[in-house]
Amino acid sequence: MEVHHPHHIPKKFKEYLTEFLMLFAAVTLGFLAENQREHYVEGHRAEELAQALLKDLVQDSTDFHAFQQIRKEDMESINQAIDIMDTKGISPNDSVLYYHVIQGVFVWRYHEFRLTNLNQIISSGSLRYFKNDELIQAVSDLNVELKKIEFRQDREKSFFYSDIQPFIIDHVEMSYADPHRKGMPRNKFLQILKTYPSSISQKDYFFNYQTPGFVKNSVNKLRGYDWMMNITNRSYYNNYKIKSQALIKLLRKNFPNSEI
């Protein structure tokens, strides 16, 4: 049996070159299209991340200002209490001293920052979407500052619960705080305590304070607490505000379409 093979006319070099160029063009265009798509996706993702981070920073800035105002009032009362105890000691019927103790050191206050979006941007590697080196550095700087604040606030918390709270529990009559304990807003409670405390209770404001050296020891603790809070304000909180505002400015500059 004979097998006949069809005869093919050999392609010219020009035809091979044309096919190669067409294939090369198709691959190149596909690569460029994919690269453009990735560029668009990354740009869109960067916009989303910037928007979320900027929203957190702006809201934190507002809340932090309110927190610092309350903290300022607390510290003013701490210093009033120090002055009274320095000059007059502790008297069981000193309603003014009692008010400043409750106002100043009844609770430990701290600010809880919005960290979800910032942590996600850093931990997921999404920081690379921000193509501006200055912006990337500003995000990193703020993250470092927030970690410093976390450490500092832990120190304040430790001092409060080891040195200040025992003074409250062991020597300050808490029945006057019953209205607040039962739901009365803090500002209203403090106003009553300041103007008409006898409407709440008739008990002595302080007890178990006659031990020699107790007043001096208590004043030293209040001074130490106030000193610690001052350093936190001047160093840690001020640095945070500077870095936070710098980052807000850079985000708005690099993402001008932001609605915040």
**Domain residue ranges in the chain:** 13-254
Q: Among candidates 74, 81, 155, 153, which has minimal Cα distance to 110?
A: 153
Residue 20 confidence (pLDDT) above 80:
no
98 within 8 A of 197, measured Cβ to Cβ: yes
Euclidean distance between CA atoms 225 and 105, whole angstroms: 9
Q: With pLDDT > 70 as the criterion, what percentage of the chain qualifies?
A: 82
Cα dihedral sign, 181-184-185-191: negative
- Is residue 198 very low, low, confident or very high in pLDDT (cuts 50, 70, 90)? confident
Helix (H) or strand (E) holding 33: helix 13-88
What pLDDT score does 44 carry? 59
What pLDDT score does 21 carry? 58
Q: Tell which wins on pLDDT, 139 or 128.
A: 139
Q: Tell which wins on pLDDT, 13 or 92.
A: 92
Residue that the structure tokens 């009032």 belong to: 73
What pLDDT score does 47 carry? 85
Residue 41 confidence (pLDDT) above 50:
no
What pLDDT score does 46 carry? 74
Q: What mean pLDDT value characterizes the chain?
A: 87
Q: Which tokens belong to 78?
A: 């701490």
What pLDDT score does 37 carry? 47
